[in-house]
Amino acid sequence: MTLLTASSSYFYSMGPEFLLIIAIGIVGFIVQSRLQSVFNKYSKVPFAGGLTGREVAEKMLRDNGITDVRVTHVSGELTDHFNPANKTVNLSDSVYESNSVAAAAVAAHECGHAVQHAVGYAPLKWRSALVPVTSFSSKFAILFIIGGIVLAGVTNNLVLFWIGIGMIAMSALFSIVTLPVEYNASHRALAWLENEQILNSQQQAQAKDALTWAARTYLVAALSAIATLIYYIGFARRD
């Protein structure tokens, strides 16, 4: 049986790996929807300190002795990120000038990444090192997979297909390495917010809730990447 025939029959038989991808996709949709709901809810809750997201970020950077990172504004919603290349904490429309609990949590989380970079946090270094190869893999893996299926149908050679699987494996590895980076940044953010008494106890719990749901999106992404890898390995093994 060629890989082309096997892949066709495997798709129509709805193998367990394919069902796993569907299940994780549904969970991912639920988690993303819940994150959006939680963020919208806490975006309407101001905190007593009255600091904007930008001011929270600047204060956290100062408190951690970081003087070479700028806080900038980017358009969009939930587009906040730390860029180690140009050393900027980039805050979105709903965070930069907002004095909500959600804005404080997100701003502190992104500064958590800046702190990781300053102290040489190992998983962040690993993730940064994987960015170039992951960027390439995410763009071209499916082309190698499709090309591998066609080639295997003609020559029964699986080399190209396995190269595609290897590229998908790199993306999965990136998702796995991202997990400790994101969870640790949230831990640093929450610890700082509590130590500096930026939020009261109720608001602290709300900030933790928001960051917990944000972290779960990365967990679902990692599980989805692993399931996708298993799915394509299942293709190859059914040849």
How many C-beta neighbours within 10 Å does residue 178 have? 21
Question: How far, in Å, are 27, 44, 169, 180 from residue 21 at the CA level?
Answer: 10, 35, 15, 23
Dihedral angle at the C-alpha atoms of 227, 231, 236, 239, nearest 10 degrees? 150
Amino acid at position 17, single letter: E
- CB burial of 49-66 (b: ≥16 within 10 Å; e: otherwise) equals bebbbbbbbbbbbeebeb
Calpha distance 206→188 (Å, rounded): 16
* Among 17, 55, 77, 110, the one annotated catalytic: 110
CB contact at 8 A, 19 and 173: no
Torsion of CA 102, 108, 109, 114, to 10 degrees: 150
Told to judge if 110 belongs to the known catalytic residues of this protein, a careful annotator would answer yes
Active site residues: 110
